[in-house]
Every structure is written in C-alpha cells, then in structure tokens.
Structure 1
Amino acid sequence: MDQDDTPATQFYVPGQYRPDQSVGFLMKRVMSSILAQADERLAALDLTHAQWLPLFKLASKHCDTIAALSRDLDLDPGAMTRSLDRLEAKGLVRRERSTEDRRVIHLVLTEEGKKVARKVPPVMAEVLNNHLRGFSEDEWKQLLALLSRMVANGDAMREPPAA
C-alpha cells in the first residue's frame, strides 16, 4: 500500500519490464546529464560535483557538519570527509570546533569559499533550464509535483508501519 492506503497501480509487470521505459533509469540518465554538464561548467573553478554540492549546501546554510551534509546528500561520511578535505586544501572551507559541544566540528566557508559558492547557483540554473528546454511553466510545475509525490511515496515506504 502507498502513503494514502490505496493499492499501488501496477505500471510495471514482470516479464514486460523494459529498462528504457523505467522511471528510475530515465531519472538516473537525467541526473547523470545534469551533473556532467554542471561539472563541465564548474571545472573552471576547479570543482567537481563531489565538491560544489557540499560547498553550495554550506553556503545555503542547510548543513554545517560532515554528518548533516552526508545525510542531506545521501553520501558516505568517508567520501564526504575526503571532499571536504579537498575543499579545505583549496582554502574554501575550514573546520571549527563547537563551543557548545567539543565533539562537534562545524564547517565554515572561508571568504574565498563564499565567493566560489556564489558562482554555483547561476551555473545550476543554466544547466537545469537547458534540460527543461521546451517545457511550459505548467509542465515544469507538474514535473516538480510528480517528482515530489514519488519522493513522498519512497519516504513512506521507509517509515515503520503504524501500530
């Protein structure tokens, strides 16, 4: 059952499943294309998506620890640490021990990090707009709504069943 307790529609049937018609496969292809195009444009800043993504998150103040970034970006904490080590080596990020809890290390953008992070949103807007070429505003809004519903359905599948 899905989140509103109605049976899930059977759009895919074993034996008739075609990967080229898979929502997951197509979403992965779109994401791969978006990341490749963003990486190509951000290479001039010496950044890969493993670096510009946490840089952007830090700039938008969504996360400020390795654990929070790892959860938010669905990445292994070890991989996140390596990306942040590279950002720190480039002088874009620094680590600061929390004054409330000495076990917590906060991540802070340097002035150079803030300057570089400001260059990410225009690149992402360009890349995403190019991927949405030919869509109407209504189609764009519908796509966002449909993807949000899929995220909610996926989240509901991970929640423990109600007692």
Structure 2
Amino acid sequence: MSPKLPPIAEFYSADNFQCEPSLGWMLRQIKQSMVCQADKLLGKHDLTHAQWAPMLRLRFNGSMSSAALARELAMDGGAMTRLLDRLEAKGLVRRERSVEDRRVVMVSLSDAGLAAMAAAPGVLSQVFNAHLAGFTDQEFRTLVDLLQRMVANGHAIRDAGLTSETSSLVDRDD
C-alpha cells in the first residue's frame, strides 16, 4: 500500500513557473552560500566541503558502511571510494571490513579525523546563525518545522517510488 500523502499543493504551474524565485532555486542558493562560507572557515583546517561533509556524518553517526555514507550524501560508490582514498591518505578516516559481512566496508574517523572535525560544529553554527540573522526564535522554529514537513514529504514520495507518471496514483487524504 502506498503511503498517505497530503494533497499535492498547487503553488507552481507550467504557466507561472519561474526559475529564480522558485523554491528549488532559493534552497540551492542558500545551500551554496552556506557551503561557501563553511568552506572558507573549514579551509583553515585543511578541509573542503567534499571532505568535511562525510566526516561530519561520521562524527555524529559513528562508524557506517561506505555504501550507507554514499547514500547519505547522494554520491555514487566510485566517487565515495575515491574520496575515502583521499581522506584515508590524509589519515582522517579508516576503513575496515565488517566482521559480519566481508563485502561491507565500514568507515570511521581516525583520531586525527576526530581532531579535525572538532571545529566543525562551531563553524557550522556560526555559518547557520549568520544566515538566520534577523529571524525571531519563533520564525526559526517555524522554518525548521516547515522544512521538516518538506523532508517528510520527500521521504514519502521516495518510499512510494513516485515518478511524474505515477504521482497521481498515490493514495491521498483528499
């Protein structure tokens, strides 16, 4: 059975769609700005976004398989392997075969990786707070709630295996 989704919104249409004020465009601009600012500050720790993004996941999630890490970051397996090769060469991560399943490679931060990521929460907090300048506490909480709803909708769409051809077939609470 398909997941129940709220009725599809009708904020956009082919007739009124414009790229630059669209939600996707704005979210992309925000992400690019945050990554750029974080890169400037984390670059002082010899880390690029390509490097600190997976290391941040490992810092907060602990050891995980390279395949799971690739999925979390929407990267293909080959790109993840090359990135992990670079991080391992810098001594920031270590890879070990799973004892339960030798086909699975588990990735974790090394002591040097943990030390390199020590600054990340403070840097990212500074970057996020700068982007939230002028927001009230209530506006911030509302924004987070709204974005969480969008994330949940995205997960439901993904889990239902929706495409543009099948989206009208999902059970709805109309």
Corresponding residue for residue 66 of structure 2: 66
SS of structure 1 residue aligned to 2:103: coil
Tell me which of the two structures has the higher relative contact order, counting C-alpha pairs closer than 8 angstroms and 6 or more residues apart: 2
| Aligned position for 1:8 | 8
Q: Report the identity percentage.
A: 45
* 1:143 CA drift (Å): 0.6
Which whole-Å deviations, capped at 9, do the CAs of 1:46-87 have from their partners, x for residues lacking one? 111111011111111255111010111222222211211111
Q: Aligned residue for 1:119?
A: 119
Q: Distance in 2 between matches of 1:127 and 1:60?
A: 18
TM-score using structure 1 length: 0.90
Tell me how far apart the structure 2 counterparts of residues 10 and 70 of structure 1 sit (CA, whole Å).
33
Q: Are the aligned partners of 1:94 and 1:109 in contact in 2 as well (CA < 8 Å)?
A: yes
Offset at 1:110? 1.4
2:34/2:127 contact within 8 Å kept: yes
50-59 or 96-105: bigger deviation: 96-105
Please name the residue that 1:141 is paired with.
141
The answer to whether the Cα contact below 8 Å between 1:63 and 1:69 also exists between their aligned partners in 2 is: no
Task: State the alpha-carbon separation in 1 of the partners of residues 10 and 84 from structure 2.
Answer: 43
Runs of 4 or more off by more than 4 Å in structure 1? 3-6
Q: Which runs of 5+ in 2 are unaligned?
A: 161-169
1:146, CA displacement in angstroms?
0.7
Q: Does 1:102 align with 2:137?
A: no
CA distance in 2 between counterparts of 1:6 and 1:87 reads: 42
> How far is the alpha carbon of 1:99 from its aligned partner?
2.0
Counting matched residue pairs gives: 160
Residue 6 and residue 121 in structure 1: after superposition, are their counterparts in 2 closer, same or farther (change >3 A)?
A: closer
Distance in 1 (CA, whole Å) between partners of 2:94 and 2:159 is 36
Structure-2-length-normalised TM-score = 0.84
Listed as ranges, the gaps of 5+ residues in structure 1 are none
SS in 2 for 1:20: coil
